[in-house]
Amino acid sequence: MADATIPDSPGSLERSQRRKAVFASTVGTTIEWYDFFLYGTAAALIFPKLFFPR
């Protein structure tokens, strides 16, 4: 009797998990970079005018 959770080939589950981890890491890094970019832009262009008016 075969268990449904056991993959057909031994490396297929490991490859699938590796792909998911790489994808999740890429998405997370992209979101973090974009957030840093937006904050850096706002810090240079908007925040000085708000906190240090002339």
Per-residue pLDDT reduced to its tens digit, 8-54: 666 677 888 999 999 999 999 999 999 999 999 998 998 888 888 87
7 Cβ contact list (under 8 Å, min separation 6): 13
| Angstrom distance (rounded) from CA 5 to CA 41 | 48
Domain that holds residue 28: 21-51
**How many domains are contained in the chain?**
1
The pLDDT value given to residue 36: 96
Domain membership of residue 10 (yes or no) is no
Domain membership of residue 47 (yes or no) is yes
Domain membership of residue 14 (yes or no) is no
Domain membership of residue 3 (yes or no) is no
